[in-house]
Every structure is written in structure tokens, then in C-alpha cells.
Amino acid sequence: MRADAQRSNQQDHPANQGHRNQPGPSDPAAGQGGKNEPPQWVRVLNFLLLTFALFYAVEMITQSGTEELTFSEFKEQVQAGQVAEVTIEGHRVRGTLKAAGGSEDASGSQPFQSYIPEVGETRVIELLEQNSVPVTAKESGPNLFSRMLVSFLPWLIILGLFIWFWQRMQRQMGGQQGSGLFNMGKSKAKRFTRDDPGKTFDDIAGSDNAKKDLTEIVDYLKNPDFYQRLGAKLPRGLLMVGPPGTGKTLMARAVAGEADVPFYSISGSEFIEMFVGVGASRVRNMFEEARKESPSIIFIDELDAIGRSRGTGVGGGHDEREQTLNQILSEMDGFSPHETVVVIAATNRPDVLDPALLRPGRFDRKVTLDRPHKQAREKILGIHTRDMPLGDDVDLAAVARRTVGFAGADLENLANEAALFAGRENSKTVRMKHFDMARDKVLMGAKREQNLSDDEKRVIAFHESGHALTALLFPKADPLEKVTIIPRGRALGLTEQAPDEDRLNMTASYARDRIAVMLGGRASEQLIFNEVSSGAENDIEQATKLARRMVSRWGMSEVIGPMSVSSSQEEVFLGHEISREREFSEATAEKVDEEVRKLITDIEKEVNKRLDNNRDQLERLANALLEEETLEAADIDSLLDIKVRGEGEGGKPDRERSES
């Protein structure tokens, strides 16, 4: 089965990136949840301790005027007739002593308390009755701690529930201090100042056009008077567009390092909250803070999260997202001439952005960051490997030549994987073989243990041999790089092709030979085993997609001619496809299907014919694969007697591979 190499595209940045700029002492963001403030649980604990201390102090003040009598003194006072009344609670006796002179005036009485032993409780009551002392009996009450617990336990439970809900809400809002219920409208943008050494444009290889545009903005921010004398105006915004991994975010970091002005960074998704109006409030707050420190820069990553076209989708747009977008549009168009604030945004989906964002006066400049060419790839590899101990056999130019279609993030990952392979072998240097191993892992996936029967291995070997031999027999196909029947990733076997150079165009002859290579594995199975397997599922899917583009989009069919009859590829949720009528008839759609079928079947017949004429070469290659499991291009050249190699005219800048 055959598939295009799919790689995760990350941002193009050096392997050893410096730490990001930290908020300075004057940073307003540093005031939110500053490091000098104690954690919330410490504040709650201090509150509880203070409450208990106050309760204890009140209790002590209440009992400060009470005289403590021993049991013997208590009996003497009773016998002397000085006790006015008593209250007995368990073993504790409380009461009042008569004033001096035996008067029962309450103003001169003295409260007292005493404790009686258990064995003397009955005799004390008899003594009190003999001396006509009024006695009140009560059940023994709780101690001080028990009374405090009973009094405050309900309030503690309520307070605990309130704190739990508050912390949960904060976690849902980003987990930042100061992001509670009353601070949701505050901007979450992170403020950075210039760091030393920081990131600069020298740390970025390739993307020369993007660096040029950004350098002009940085120069303007540094020397605004010079440009104003020339009558030049600062661009309101700059939109960076490109596939994932091409270095959009890294470019913004370089701007933060180059421009000695405050830099605010935020992701588009951080504006949206569960409450309506929060996003617009955060936009206002962010621009307000940026204006206070102008000249300054605002960087919005993943702009498509909030910048999608308004009024789209089934049932209308999201009100909160649209309000946030409207506020951004208003803020960007409302700058005064003296407010030097530049908005830089990045996205890999410019097709879904609202047209109002892209008009002059908002995002004045659009910068496209493409995948790097060969010379740029070599420079990027040099940046990612400058701190690595490279072996004498490492040729970065050769690595760059064999990594067509790699983005900057892919090259960083490649260099890191090579270093990891060197570490596994306890090698003191990173050698060329480690880069080859890393390239195979990035392109084809990691090796995996798979118990295959001999019959399955034989089918896979002939399938991959069919792909490889077809790539050699058809002159326009991309050159063969490697064939393996070792399971990697999700594939049981792979055939890799590598274009000799970066290609940005695809001719009809190249597209036909490309389809031929896709069908080579299935044709080989049919030729050798007189039946086909499910391993060609991905091959057929890709061949059909490419053939349909040739017929319906690229005008490579004589029957259809130079006319676009393809269905729109827009998603339903964008709202553009729902009310759009199809611009071609059912009869034309049937002709397209018939032309696609005819194109694929004609190519398949040619593949069957050429493989049948070279059956001995096919069997020789399959047997070698069963024995060696992996064959490089040089091994295949020495094994086969085929002089025609793929010239690879016209094609995508993506590395191809066949897999089963």
C-alpha cells in the first residue's frame, strides 16, 4: 500500500532555544498573582487561625472576672453562708459569692467556679441544702474546643465549598492568579521585554522575505522619526501565513528579541470564554495596555481561532467569537497616528479568515513562509547542529538534499533524533549513519515487532518490489531511494522515492508515472499470485485522488478539456457550501467518473505489461528483499539490469513513499 510521507510540522526554531523573556520589574502583568503574595491556602489557613484566636480571646475575657476556688475553699464558703446560688454541671460548680457583709446585692457579688470530686458529689448537695443555697442542675456541656467546633463548623463547610468552586472556576479559566470571576475581562496576554542574548533574526535560516518585512517594522519602531520624515506610515498589522512548522512563532520571538519595545503575546483561543462578552473585554484590555507603553507589538498566534468569517456555519456564527472579532477589527482601525502599536498574527488557515481582517488598514502586509529550499535546509541544519559534536563523515549538504519537503520543525526533529540514536550507541559524536537512521524514523516511522508468516512476507516482498521496479521502469517517476519489508509505523513495508530537487509544478507525464508507481504493488501481486490483497487500499485511494485532480481540475483529459468541474473542498461548517449550487450537470459528472476510471485502467495495463516483460527482475528483487529485508538504491542498481531511471520531472515538493 502506498502513501505520501506525512510528517508533523512544527515551528522552525533552533534546538537549543534560549529562555523566553521574563516580565521585568515594571511589568504590569507581574502584579497579577505576584511572587510576594502567599498562596491562597495559606491565606485561608491564616483566616481560620485568626478566627479561633478571636473566639478563644472572647471566651477568656468572659471568664476573666470569675474566681477559681478549690473544693475545700468552696465548702468553707458554703458553711460560712457566703454562697448566694450555684449551678452544677457534671463535676463543675458555678455560682456567685455574696457581697461583703453577707448582702445579696447583685452589684457586689463575685462569680466563682470550682470542681468537685465524683465521690463527694452527694455530700456537696446535702451541704448546700443544709445551708439553704439555691441549686440549679444542668447536663454537662461541651468543652471550649467542642463549643468552637459546633459554632464554626457550618461556616467552615460553607467557606470550604466556596473556595473549592472558586479554584475550580480559576482552573477552567486558565489557572492563573487574578483570573477569577471579577478578572475574566482582563487580558491574558503575556508581556515580554528584550532578553539578553534573546532570539534574533540571525538565529533563523531561510525565510528571507519574511525577515525583510519584519526587519522594516523593527527599524521603524526603533527609529520612528526617521521614517516619519520620509512620510512613511507604520503598517497596522502583519499576517504571517504558512504550513505548520515553517517558523511563524519563531519569527515572532525574533521580533521580540530584535525590537527593544514591549511585546505582548497571546493565542487566539485565549480570548474565548464561557461567558459572552469576555473575549471583547480582553481585547480592549490588551490594546489598552499596549497603547500605554507604545511603541509596542501585539502577537496573536493561531488567528483563525477567532478570525473566521462572520455569519457562517449551520445556524449562524458563534456570538462570543464574532463579538471578539468585531472588537479586534475596531481596535486595529482605531489607532491614532501617535499610537505606535503593531499587530502581528500567525495562521496556517488564511482561507477561513474574515475579509475585513485582510483589508488594507488592518493587516497591511501578508508574509508567506514556505518550506525551505535545499540551501535553506542546509543552513537550518547548521543551526540545529551547532552545539552537537558531529563526526567527520557528516555532510549536512547531503542531508539537506535527501530531506526534500522538510519544514524547519522537521529538520529540528531530525537533528534531535540523530543525537538520540548516537546516545543509544554511546557514541561520542553524531555520525552520518545516525542522521540516516533518524531520517528513516521521521519518514517511515519507528520499527515495530510484527510476527508475519512466510506467506505474508512473500506477498509484502513482491508488493514492494512491484512499487520499486515500476519506479525504475517509468522514466518520469521520482528516483528510488530505499525499499524495506520491515514493519514501520502503521505500514508492513515501504518503498521510498526522493526527488532530485525541489519541485513546484506537476506535468501530465509525471502525474501518470506517479500513478503507475502507486499501482505497481497491486500489479505485482496480480502477476505473481494471480490475485490481489487488501494491501493496495491506500495505493488505490491516492491514485484515484490524483487521477480525479488531473481530469477535473488540471485539464489533463481530452474529453473534459480545460474546464474545472470539481466539487468544492470547503467544509460545511464554514457556511460557504450550503447554499452554493453545483455548476456542472449530472452528465458531466458521469463523464468525469468515466475519464478517471479510463485513466487509471490504461495506466494499470501499461504497468502490467512492463512488469510482465521484466518478471525475472521482479523475482530477483523480491528474493533479495526476503533475504536482506532492506535494500538501498545502490544495492538495487547493482542487483538489477535496468538502465532507465526515473528523471522525476514536475512534482510536488513532498517526498514520496510506497507502503503496504
Q: Is residue 391 within 8 Å of residue 431, measured between CB atoms? A: yes
pLDDT confidence of residue 19: 37
Cα–Cα distance between 592 and 596 in angstroms, integer? Answer: 6
Q: Is residue 631 within 8 Å of residue 484, measured between CB atoms? A: yes
Q: Is residue 360 within 8 Å of residue 366, measured between CB atoms? A: no
Which residues define the annotated binding site? Answer: 242-249, 463, 467, 539
Which residues define the annotated binding site for ATP? Answer: 242-249
Cα–Cα distance between 338 and 340 in angstroms, integer? Answer: 6
Cα–Cα distance between 111 and 84 in angstroms, integer? Answer: 10
* Contacts for 30 with CB less than 8 Å, ≥ 6 apart: 23, 24
Q: Is residue 291 within 8 Å of residue 337, measured between CB atoms? A: no
Q: Is residue 93 within 8 Å of residue 113, measured between CB atoms? A: yes
Q: Say what the alpha-carbon torsion angle 276, 277, 279, 281 is, to the nearest 10 degrees.
A: -160
Q: Going along 197-340, which residue ranges are E strands?
A: 237-241, 263-267, 296-301
pLDDT confidence of residue 227: 80
Cα–Cα distance between 242 and 14 in angstroms, integer? Answer: 18
Cα–Cα distance between 400 and 439 in angstroms, integer? Answer: 11
**Residue appearing with cell numbers 513482491:** 462
Which residues define the annotated binding site for Zn(2+)? Answer: 463, 467, 539
* Contacts for 451 with CB less than 8 Å, ≥ 6 apart: none
List the grid coordinates of 544.
484515484
| DSSP label at residue 380 | H
**Residue appearing with cell numbers 511563524:** 248
Cα–Cα distance between 111 and 92 in angstroms, integer? Answer: 13
Cα–Cα distance between 313 and 354 in angstroms, integer? Answer: 13
Cα–Cα distance between 113 and 177 in angstroms, integer? Answer: 52
Three-state DSSP class for residue 10: coil
CB burial of 606-643 (b: ≥16 within 10 Å; e: otherwise) equals bbbebbeebeebbebbbebbbeeeebbbeebeebbeee
Q: Is residue 88 within 8 Å of residue 135, measured between CB atoms? A: yes
pLDDT confidence of residue 469: 93
> How far, in Å, are 280, 492, 537, 541 from residue 534 at the CA level?
53, 12, 6, 12
Q: Going along 485-611, which residue ranges are E strands?
A: 494-497
pLDDT confidence of residue 508: 92
Question: Within 13 Å, how many C-alpha atoms sit on residue 534's CB side?
Answer: 2
Cα–Cα distance between 592 and 566 in angstroms, integer? Answer: 9
Residue 394 CB: number of other CB atoms within 10 A?
Answer: 19
Q: Domains in the chain, please, with CATH?
A: 8-23+184-368 (3.40.50.300), 69-141 (3.30.720.210), 374-443 (1.10.8.60), 454-567+582-659 (1.20.58.760)
Using 70 as the pLDDT threshold, list the residues of the chain that sit under it. Answer: 1-45, 55-56, 58-65, 90, 100-108, 118-122, 139-152, 167, 169-198, 273-277, 311-319, 334-339, 450, 501-502, 567-582, 642-660
Active site residue 464: yes
Which residue is catalytic, options 258, 378, 412, 464? 464
* Contacts for 98 with CB less than 8 Å, ≥ 6 apart: 81, 82, 83, 84, 104, 108, 109
Q: Say what the alpha-carbon torsion angle 45, 48, 50, 56 is, to the nearest 10 degrees.
A: -140
Picking from 107, 265, 263, 131, the residue whose alpha carbon sits closest to that of residue 187 is: 265
